[in-house]
Structure 1
Amino acid sequence: MSSAAAADVIGAIETSNINDHRAAAQALAIVRDGVITGEGPTTRGRIHFSRALDADDAAWCERILGASALASQPVSRDEAEALFAINEAAAERSDDGRFDDLFAKAVVHHAASASGLPVPPRAVALSPDVAIETWAPTKAVGVNIEVLEWIASQMRAKRVSNAAIMTLVTTVVGAATLQLPNVFDIGM
């Protein structure tokens, strides 16, 4: 993405003009780039080390996913993939767990909605004040097998070792590990 395009996306974030999943995923990619390099539009005006994720990065992700135009839409696969990439990019964390919480909730929100299960609006599902257990499916019953395989492939392909994502596996995927034993062989 060119620097002009990046500036347009950051401008959209700053003015809450993200109006579709593609723009949100692009904006999350800019956050990822800032996490990787420690530079860029999401790190301006502060000291930011490469491969570090801080509270401001988590706040960027929260603002992007909470864009008003997306409020009634479920988290998309592109957005969830961008969050997996941010998680992978961040070797160091200083955000008090906010990103991990948001990451797990967003992936579960996507998985449940992509499976045709009811999900609350983003403002509820992604809120730091709402426990994932209050709305996430508690069994894999009804969760689409393709979605479960996608989550497993993301977890195998990336360094996913945080507690929130492991909670995601046990919360959403629970019974599927019995039904699909090879899908979740993630070697943790």
Structure 2
Amino acid sequence: MSKSDDRDVAVHALGIVRNGVITGEGPTTRGRIHCFRALDARDAAWCARTLTATAVADEPVSRAEAEALFEINAAATERSDNGQFDDLFAKAIVHHAASASGLPVPSRTIALSPDTAIESWAPTRAVGLDIEVLEWIVGQIRGKLRRNPTVTKLVVAIIGAATLPLAQLPNWFDMGM
């Protein structure tokens, strides 16, 4: 299988997690009580294992994987994971943004680890960040962003790092910030 195929499998697995979050049923919820629209520590662990599996560990987070994480984030209206998913989500989105902009990123195993601070590897300056990638992120979160310190930190880090005039990011204030 190619690396692209491996990432397609990861996207599919994240879709299964999303479906379990939405319905409270499915392979990711077997053997436990799981409310619909809820995300718990086991769901977050499924996502982390999927994104750091050996087959994809050396590849940057793809746009399709990032989109799947945005879908999980939007679907999970209740959280009982002590911030595990939000930490993973923020790191994965920044990993995608940096790598899609051609910037060097550490392996997923390092970047997405709960023991690694996002500030230790994420871009801190505008140099090299792709405006199209930033616009895509803004489009993904517009009106859908959960009020969460980790995710808010993600937005501030990416947009702050870009130091772009707000006019270049469409409808920034429509995001509900």
TM-score, reference length from structure 2: 0.91
- Asked whether 1:119 is paired with 2:108, we answer no
The Cα shift of 1:187 comes to: 2.9
Matches within 5 A, 1:11-30: 20-30=6-16
> Which residue in 1 is equivalent to 2:149?
163
- Let me know the Cα RMSD of the aligned residues: 1.6
Kept in 2: contact 1:71–1:122 (CA 8 A):
yes
> Which residue in 2 is equivalent to 1:37?
23
Alpha-carbon separation, structure 2, partners of 1:74 and 1:117: 10
Instruction: Show structure 1 runs of 5+ residues with no match.
Output: 1-17
Secondary structure at the counterpart of residue 69 of structure 1: coil
Q: 1:102 aligns with which of 88, 93, 96?
A: 88
- The aligned length equals 171
The Cα shift of 1:19 comes to: 5.6
Q: 1:32 corresponds to which letter in structure 2?
A: R
> Which residue in 2 is equivalent to 1:12?
none
Kept in 1: contact 2:123–2:161 (CA 8 A):
no
Instruction: Show structure 2 runs of 5+ residues with no match.
Output: none
Kept in 2: contact 1:42–1:60 (CA 8 A):
yes
> Which residue in 1 is equivalent to 2:129?
143
Secondary structure at the counterpart of residue 69 of structure 2: helix
- Asked whether 1:187 is paired with 2:173, we answer no
> Which residue in 2 is equivalent to 1:13?
none
The Cα shift of 1:24 comes to: 0.5
Kept in 2: contact 1:139–1:172 (CA 8 A):
no
Q: 1:163 corresponds to which letter in structure 2?
A: P
Q: 2:75 aligns with which of 79, 89, 93?
A: 89
Secondary structure at the counterpart of residue 36 of structure 1: helix
TM-score, reference length from structure 1: 0.86
The Cα shift of 1:165 comes to: 1.7
Question: After the TM superposition, which parts of structure 1 deviate over 3 Å for at least 4 consecutive aligned residues?
Answer: 175-178
Secondary structure at the counterpart of residue 49 of structure 1: coil
Matched-pair identity in %? 67
The Cα shift of 1:182 comes to: 5.2
